Structure 1
C-alpha cells in the first residue's frame, strides 16, 4: 500500500506561483534553525529534539554541540529510549549494543559483536550545529550545501554588540500559520487591548493597508532573503464603524500622531520575523517559527538590544525579566499563539490555502509565500521515525 502524500497534490496544483510554499508543510530543508538556548545544554548533557519531522539527539562535548538522528541503524529503535553513554562522545543502543560517535555518526563498535564487518563502515545521519547570540542552531540538510548562518537570520541579529534574550514554547499549529500571523499587517486588530500600552507610547490603529512602495523584496545573492513592510507607508484605520456607529477604536497618542504605527516588520527565510522598535524604541524582536512536524512549531521568541557595556547588559536583562518577557513575549504574543492554534484546523487538510478569502492588506502574505517558494533550498519530505 502506498503512503499518502504529506500535502494534497490537488491543492498544490491550484495555488499557482507559491506551490513550493504549500508543499513545505514540514519546512524548508538546507537551512539553519534555532532549536534551544545555549544555556539549556550543559557540558555532557543529552537533549532530544524534534525538527522538520525528524527526531534528533543533541549533546555538548568539550564545549561544542553535535546533532545526530535518534534512530539506531540496526532495528530502527530510538536511542533516546534509554540513552547509554559509556564514554563522553559515544552513545550505545540499549537494545543490541550498536555504538556510535556523536561527532561523525560513525558506528564504532557493536559491544556484543566486536568483530562485525559493519564497524567503521556505517554511519547515522548527523547534522551541523553552531551557536550564536546564545542560541543553538542546527542545519537540517545536506552537508555539501552548508552555508553561512548569516544567510538565514535577519540583518542586525548577529551585530557584535547586540544582546539577545528570549524564550521558546511549542505552538499547536503549522509553522506557516505562525509566520503569516507575525507578518500579517491586518492582525493588528487582535492586539488593540494589549497591556503593552502601559509600558510604551502606542499609536496603534485597528488596521492598516500597505500603500505602493511599502512592501520591498530583499533577494540579494549573498544575503538573507526576505520581505520588508514599512508601516510608515500604510493607510491606517483608527475607528471601526458598524451602521454609522463607532464600535471600537485603536489607541492613539498625540506624541506620535500622524503615523500609522511606530514599527515595521520583515520576514526572512527559513521563517523568522523581525519587528523594528518593538516592544519599544531601541529594541528589536526576532522570532522564529521552527517546524517540529506538520501540526506544531517551536516558537522561539527573542528581543535584541545594542548593549555596548556590561552595565547596559545588566539593565537590559532586568528590563526583560520585569517588563518585556511578561507583557510582550507572554501577554502580547499570547494573543498570536491563540490565533494560530484556532486557525490550524482550517488549513490542516490543505484546502484552506484555496478556500481562504484574502483582502487588500494580505498582499504582504502573498509576497512572502512567493519569495519563500522561489528561495527555499529544498522541501522537507515526510520521514517515518517511529
Structure 2
C-alpha cells in the first residue's frame, strides 16, 4: 500500500519552518511507502490551483540545506478559504490520489486543517479512502493552545533576547537616552517576555518589559522611565506591538486590518514621542519586525531540532492512521530540559489563542523568574556572555 501526501504552509514563516518541511520529507522517505510528497507552492491557494511540486524529485543537497534556510522554501499565504474551497480541495485530493495532508502553521492554519478534515469526513469517497489530515505547529507568537511551545518561537526569542542584550550594552555605554524596542506578538506576550533573558545586572537593560496581557498605563510608564533615567542615565524598554489601554483599545490605532491580520501603528515610535515630549529626554525607537522571525544567524539549535521532530512525528501519525490531530509538545522537565511529542485533537487547538499566564508576570513592566526557567531551554545554546560593567 503506497501513500501520496501533501504539505501546505500557512501564515507568516519562521526561522525553522523549513526544518519541519525537512522532517516531513525525511520521514516520508524513510517510511518506504510514500510514492509522492507534494508541496503546495504558495500556501492554501496553491492547493486550489493545483500548483504542486513533488519534493521527492528534489536533489539531496538542496534537501539537506532546508533546516538552515529561513522563511518558507515552498511559499506560504494568508489566503482565506471558503466552505466551497474546502469541498473543492477534497476533490483535488482525490484526483491526485492523496491520502495524507499536513498543514504547517499557527492558529489560522490549524483552523483550516480542522475544517479540511471535516470536509473529508463529509465526502463519502474521501472518507472511504481514509484521507488523513494532521497539523504541524508553527508560530513565533507561541499562542497555540495545549502544546508547551511551538517551533519558531525559540529562534525568535533567541533573536530578541540577544538583540536586547547587545543593545543594552550600547545604551549603558552612552547613557543619554531611553531606547524602546518593539516586539511582535499581537495578543500574546510570550515573545516580548523573552527579552527578560537579556538581563544580567541591575543597571543594564532591559529595565522595563510591557506585554499585551497587562493594560498599559501611560502615566505609570512615564514615571518609571523618568525614575530609571535619573538613576541609570540610559534606559531600555521592550514593548509588545499589541499593547492596549485598560479599556482594551490599542495604544496606537492599527493602520490596516483584514480579518485576523492586523498591521499595527508604530508603538515604539509612539512611546519615544511621549518620552521626548512629556519628559524632555532623548529617545530612540527600534523595530526589528520581520528580521526577528527570519534570522538564521540567531536560529536556536533546539528549535531547529524540534521543528524536524514535529515534521517526522506528523508523518508517523498519519501513517498510523491518525487524523484531525496536531503534533504538540509536552514538557517533562526544564532543568534538565526534556520534552516529548504528543498528538492534540484539532478541535482543542482551532483558533484557541493561548496568552501569557498571569503567573509569569510580576507586574506591569516586569517578568517573573518562573518564565525564564520555562523559556531559557528553548533558546538553545547559551547567549553571549559579557563582563559586568565595572566603570
Report TM bin, short chain.
under 0.3
Q: Which has the higher helix share?
A: 2
Q: TM-score, normalised by structure 2?
A: 0.28
Q: Which has the higher strand share?
A: 1
Q: TM-score, normalised by structure 1?
A: 0.28
